[in-house]
Structures are given as structure tokens and as C-alpha cells.
Amino acid sequence: MTPVPVPADEPPKKRSAADFIFGKVIGEGSFSTVYLAKDIHTNKEFAIKVLEKLHIKKERKLAYVTREKEVLLRLASWNELFVKLYCTFQDVDRLYFVLTYAKNGDLLTHIKHLSLECVRFYAAEIIMALERLNIKKIIHRDLKPENILLDENWHVLLTDFGSAKIVKDEIEQEECGENSKRRNSFVGTAQYVTPEVLTDGNVSFASDLWALGCVIYQMVCGTAPFQAGSEYLIFKKILDLEYSFPEDFDSRARNLVEQLLVINPHERLGSCDVKPYTSIREHQFFSKINWHNLGKPPKIC
């Protein structure tokens, strides 16, 4: 049978570990190791996330794994703004996710050296990614600088969808929003968790807008808005909205952050947009941004 030609840059759907040369470890997660790998047929580089089945079972993370796969597949039709899942395979002991290789690491690595022009550009790409998540009814739930990767051309690649929530229908979106009993255990990372998750366990698309406010704050001044010596004290500061701006914090960026770090999720900028997130795009902080063509990423200083 004549083999079906494979597009040069994409492995066909069914591969195995034997189709790749595994190189250096590029990162470690709680349940995973990520390797730089090369496809022996195309010489293309990928990041391959490897998970030990025994560890997944022991930590009861089956849902986390299958959700990450489901969400990544939902987003795979887009070739930008998200890490792309090219294929998965498994062997007796491990699961393998073949992903876009983000050659320039994560935003946290570079976050202390961003000019305001860089902040504007990266905030715009993150907002466009959140708009696409909204279209696909996906709430990320763990947006933070470590989960914002940078590709070889310094464009954003959002990753880490193991904690994501797929909103099945409007009813669930309502239940995720107001009038629902506490249903979700704490998901996400303490510094970026939203007040509603700490009070009534609700999540909504507005939860990612709170995290966006935290990320923009950190891109401007280099540190997260809510910091303390323990998770409990961080949570207390979040619920009390206890944070402040450095003197030299850009005033327009400050106004934007103040409209995102709002306790009531329904009052956050963008949370009630008919076309998300028009009201964020129209904020004065983005007056220099051409949303139809963001152009090349400015050089990270």
C-alpha cells in the first residue's frame, strides 16, 4: 500500500518512541518529564512530555491527563498562541505527548526585563489566546508566567491545560458562575488564584481575567501582586484585595490591572463582553496596538 505523504512538519497521527531521538530534559513537572526530541523522519524538533503510568495512577491524576489531551486536541486547529499537540502514543509504562517545542522557554524567565512595549505585546497575545479559549468554552484555571511559553520567534504559546475546565453548556457556565455550591477544590497556583475559587469554588471565564491582571502586573514591575510567606497569607491578601503599585508603575497599565483585579468576577473588565474581550482590547493601555496585526515581538531587553 502506498504510504500517505505526511506534511513535512507534522508527524502522522500514529508514532512510537522509536520514531524519535530523545535529547536533553527541558523540564520536569509533578507527573512528567519533558524532553527535547527529534523526529527521525523529518528531523523536526518537538517537546515530548512523558508521564509514568504508575505515578499517574498513584496520584489519581487520570482525569488531569485525559483533560489535558482533550483540551490540547480542541486547540490543535490553531497554529499559534497555543502549544500544539501533534500526536500521542504510549508503551507499557508511559504516556507520550508530542508537542510544539517552545525554544525560548517561559515568560517567567524573562519577566524582569520587559519594556512597556514588550508588556503591551505579550499582554495582547495572551488576551488573543484567552479569546480563543472562550470561543472553545475552555477556562484555563492556571494562567501564570510559567505556563506562557515562548516559541523560536518569541511569540506566546499558552500551555499546561491539565487544570483546565471545558464548559459544556450555558447552564454549566451559569453553575460555574453564581448560585452554585462550592464544588471545586483549589485549582491553580496560590499567587494567581481568583477570589471566587477561595470563597464559593466557582470558576468562570472571568477567573482567567483575574489571572491576566496578575500577569500584567508582574510583567510591568517584575513581581506578582499578591505575595506572602504562606499560601494562607497569600489567600488572605487576595480576599482582602491587599496589593499596591510601585510609584513608577505605568498609569494606564495600573488602570487596566485595577479593572481586572476586582473581587466580583462579573465586574471584571471583559467579563460581560458580548464579544470577548472587546472592552479589554479598547482599553487605553492598548491604544498603540493594531489588533489585526500585532507585528513582530519587540526585542526582550
246 binds, options ligand ATP, ligand SVQ, none, Cβ within 5 to 8 A by partner type: none
Q: Is 248 a catalytic residue?
A: no
The cell numbers describing 147, all together, are 505556563
Does 146 sit near ligand ATP (CB under 6 A)?
yes
In Å, how far are 23, 103, 155 from 149, measured between CA atoms?
A: 19, 9, 8
Q: Which does 63 bind (CB under 5 to 8 A by kind): ligand ATP, ligand SVQ, none?
A: none
User: CA-to-CA distance for 87 and 269, rounded, in angstroms?
Assistant: 37
The SS3 assignment for 1 reads coil
Size of interface with ligand ATP, in residues (CB under 6 A): 20
Place of cell 484555563: 140
Shortest distance (Å) from residue 10 CB to ligand ATP:
15
Angle at 166 between CA 218 and CA 155, to 5 degrees: 40
Rg (CA), the chain: 20
Q: Does 66 bind ligand SVQ (CB under 6 A)?
A: yes
Contacting ligand SVQ (CB under 6 A), which of 11, 46, 83, 88? Answer: 88
Q: Does the protein bind ligand ATP through residue 27 (CB under 6 A)?
A: yes
Rounded to whole angstroms, the Cα distance separating 78 from 223 reads: 31
The distance of closest approach from Cβ of residue 54 to ligand SVQ in the complex, given in angstroms and rounded to an integer, is: 7
Minimum CB separation of residue 8 from ligand SVQ in Å reads 24
DSSP string, 186-253: --S-GGG--HHHHHT----HHHHHHHHHHHHHHHHHSS-SS--SSHHHHHHHHHTT-----TTS-HHH
249: nearest Cα among 144, 116, 124: 116
- List the one residue from 62, 135, 239, 241 that touches ligand SVQ (CB under 6 A): 62
Q: Per CB under 6 A, does 164 bind ligand SVQ? A: no
Q: Does 6 interact with ligand SVQ (rule: CB under 6 A)?
A: no
Of 19, 39, 106, 142, the active-site residue reads 142
56 binds ligand ATP (CB under 6 A): no
> Using CB under 6 A, which of the segments 13-21, 57-65, 78-86, 206-214 binds ligand SVQ?
57-65
Region of 26-34, 179-187, 201-209, 263-271 interacting with ligand ATP (CB under 6 A): 26-34
Residue 157: name the closest of 59, 96, 78 by CA.
Answer: 78
Taking the complex as a whole, the smallest distance from the CB of residue 35 to ligand SVQ amounts, in Å, to 15
Binding residue (CB under 6 A) for ligand SVQ from 69, 136, 137, 237: 69
Residue 65 within binding range of ligand SVQ, rule CB under 6 A: yes
Question: Is residue 106 near ligand ATP by the rule CB under 6 A?
Answer: yes
* CB-count exposure of residue 137 (10 Å: 0-12, 13-18, 19+): middle
- Distance in angstroms (rounded) separating the CA atoms of residues 292 and 301: 25
Q: Are 301 and 118 in contact (CB under 8 A)?
A: yes
102 binds, among ligand SVQ, ligand ATP, none (CB under 5 to 8 A by kind): ligand ATP
Nearer to ligand SVQ, 89 or 101 (CB): 89
Contact 115, 250 (CB under 8 A): no
Stretch 27-56 residues interacting with ligand SVQ (CB under 6 A): 53, 56
Positions touching ligand SVQ (CB under 6 A) are 53, 56-57, 62, 65-66, 69, 88-90, 95
Catalytic annotation, residues: 142
